[in-house]
Amino acid sequence: MTDAVTEERTGRGERIAKRIARAGLCSRRDAERLVAAGRVRIDGRTIDSPAVRVAPGQRIEVDGEPLPAVEPPRLFRFHKPRGVLTTARDAAGRPTVAMLLPRGLPRLMPIGRLDLNSEGLLLLTNDGMLKRRLELPATGWIRRYRVRAFGRVSPKRLEELAGGITVDGVTYGPIEARIDREQGANLWLTVALREGKNREIRRVLGHLGLEVGRLIRIAYGPFQLGALPKRAIAEVPAKVLREQLGGLLPTTPGAPIPEARSR
């Protein structure tokens, strides 16, 4: 029995597919395919299960080459334009965020999503653990949007969203919404929420009789879109990352991220 299998049964270490993905070699799903194809070895022995766990210090090879070390977590701000999918690839050949990123960056994963017709701030990270932590509602981060919508709604109906709402059988949590200005037949609103279910803003405002024309995310937690031009990407400096994330960041490359506390 290999040491890796022992780790699996005792519950120590992390799954090999996850470890490969965190090294930035490929996605976890692609890592599982590499394992299934017999292209991964741990301490010189080929493995055939992506559930095998690996402990620190064990030698991992993919196609005979040592697996790169896990990089420290990095975070990037990206200004996603409309008409671009938040994904690495699309079977229909539509433009994706991955197509717009400059060469030389590590493999980056989106934190949260923006649908095809939404735009604005998209956070990207090289660390899957950090991605999942920052997406959790328990983290308590507010996502803030500027919305242009056709129609009219009373401020009182918007205020009622603070208590949550159910639309077509789907229950949405508290939403902060206010009218900033009226422009002809359109309204500009600022909308803030903490969870962000699929097409939440469009569905909730549609339920109130508003048709969303533009949806721009301007903030995700403490990180702002600011004056970042469309299609541009900017890395969050390590000092700012430490100040803003605190205990959400691992203390050393590859270390587990501490449990988030509600804010």
Task: List the single range of 105-114, 175-184, 228-237, 241-250 with lowest mean pLDDT.
Answer: 241-250
Task: List the single range of 14-28, 160-174, 176-190, 233-247 with lowest mean pLDDT.
Answer: 14-28
Measured CA distances, 27 to 7, 20, 88, 252 (Å): 22, 8, 10, 22
Mean of all residue pLDDT scores within the chain: 86
Q: What is the pLDDT of residue 27?
A: 77
Among 91, 129, 92, which residue's Cα sits nearest to residue 109? Answer: 129
Q: What is the pLDDT of residue 100?
A: 94
pLDDT digits (tens, 9 = 90+) for 108-166: 989 988 999 999 999 999 887 788 888 877 777 899 999 999 999 999 999 999 999 99
75-138+222-248 CATH pick, 3.20.20.210, 3.30.70.270, 3.30.70.580, 3.40.50.2300: 3.30.70.580
Q: Is the pLDDT of residue 1 over 60?
A: no
Same topology, domains 3-66 and 75-138+222-248? Answer is no
* pTM, entire model: 0.79
Measured CA distances, 259 to 54, 91, 113, 114, 119 (Å): 22, 36, 22, 26, 30
Span 58-75, average pLDDT: 90
Span 19-35, average pLDDT: 84
Tokens of 19: 């470890």
- The full set of domain ranges for the chain reads 3-66, 75-138+222-248, 142-220
Domain 3-66 has CATH 3.10.290.10: yes
Of the pLDDT bands very low, low, confident and very high (cuts 50, 70, 90), residue 262 is very low
Q: What is the pLDDT of residue 258?
A: 39
Q: Where are the beta strands (DSSP E) in 44-118?
A: 45-46, 53-54, 60-62, 65-66, 75-80, 109-111
Q: Is the pLDDT of residue 12 over 60?
A: yes
Between CA 104 and CA 117 the distance in angstroms is 27
Q: What is the pLDDT of residue 191?
A: 97
Q: What is the pLDDT of residue 7?
A: 39
Specify the DSSP class assigned to residue 106: P
Q: What is the pLDDT of residue 4?
A: 38
Instruction: Report the percent of the chain where pLDDT is more than 70.
Output: 90
CATH fold, domain 142-220, is Alpha-Beta Plaits (3.30.70)
Q: What is the pLDDT of residue 132?
A: 80
User: Known catalytic residue: 115?
Assistant: yes
Of the pLDDT bands very low, low, confident and very high (cuts 50, 70, 90), residue 253 is very low
Catalytic residue selected from 115, 127, 168, 180: 115
Q: What is the pLDDT of residue 80?
A: 97
| Residue with more model confidence, 227 or 20 | 227
